[in-house]
Amino acid sequence: MKINVESIASGKIGEKFEHDFTYEMQSDINRVVKGKLFVMKTNYGFNVRANCFTNLKHTCGRCLESFESPLEFSFSERFSKENHPTSESTMKDDFRIEVDGNIDVSQAIEQYLIIETPFNTVCSNDCKGLCQQCGANLNQDECSCTPRLSNPAWENLRDLWENKTKPV
Ligand SMILES: [Zn+2]
Ligand SMILES: [Zn+2]
């Protein structure tokens, strides 16, 4: 997604403009990121702050159902000219202003989206997950599986109980 900043490139340092955008992601054709850019001319090029909004598609870590959740994130990045005369070593980490006066914020958006995407998501905090024995989604229905007695101490107690209650 390219934005032509040349229109203010001849302006004074400190000049600002805003730009609404809708970006269809290259890495995920089903995902759209919307937001607003705040661009300011600086001595090295432009400072770009972006407020972004998107819907994320997740798979619940407990019940494996897919669900969507909104995500808002923002970032700030520097865009500088290729041969800007400066000795600042931080300049090499900047994004570049293209020769035709465009800046391309796609890469920055994609990078920050990866950073901001949460891991280990659950569809809700009280998701009951799947039954470990029959695989039923316990949010939707209760299965008839009996809870497994995995602790040997309980197995012994059960044997004791069953022997005791057997008819003589
Ligand atoms: Zn779930
Ligand atoms: Zn079950």
In a domain, 27, yes or no: yes
> For 89, which DSSP code?
G
For the CA atoms of 71, 26, 49, 73, the dihedral, rounded to the nearest 10 degrees, stands at 10
In a domain, 35, yes or no: yes
Contact 46, 14 (CB under 8 A): no
Total domains present in the chain: 1
pLDDT tens per residue across all 168 residues of the chain: 888 887 765 678 899 989 999 998 877 666 899 999 999 998 888 999 999 999 988 899 999 999 998 999 999 999 987 766 654 555 667 888 888 888 999 999 999 998 998 888 899 999 999 998 999 999 998 888 876 555 666 667 767 777 766 555
- The pTM of this model reads 0.70
Q: How far is the CA of 130 from the centre of ligand 2 (A)?
A: 8
In a domain, 123, yes or no: no
In this structure, which amino acid lies at residue 68?
E
In a domain, 40, yes or no: yes
Q: How far is the CA of 57 from the centre of ligand 1 (A)?
A: 13
For residue 97, give its domain range.
2-116
Q: How far is the CA of 66 from the centre of ligand 1 (A)?
A: 8
pLDDT in tens, 36-81: 999 999 888 899 999 999 998 889 999 999 999 899 999 999 998 7
In a domain, 23, yes or no: yes
In this structure, which amino acid lies at residue 20?
D
Q: How far is the CA of 71 from the centre of ligand 1 (A)?
A: 18
Q: Identify the H or E element spanning 52.
A: strand 45-59
Q: How far is the CA of 69 from the centre of ligand 1 (A)?
A: 13
In a domain, 167, yes or no: no
In a domain, 129, yes or no: no
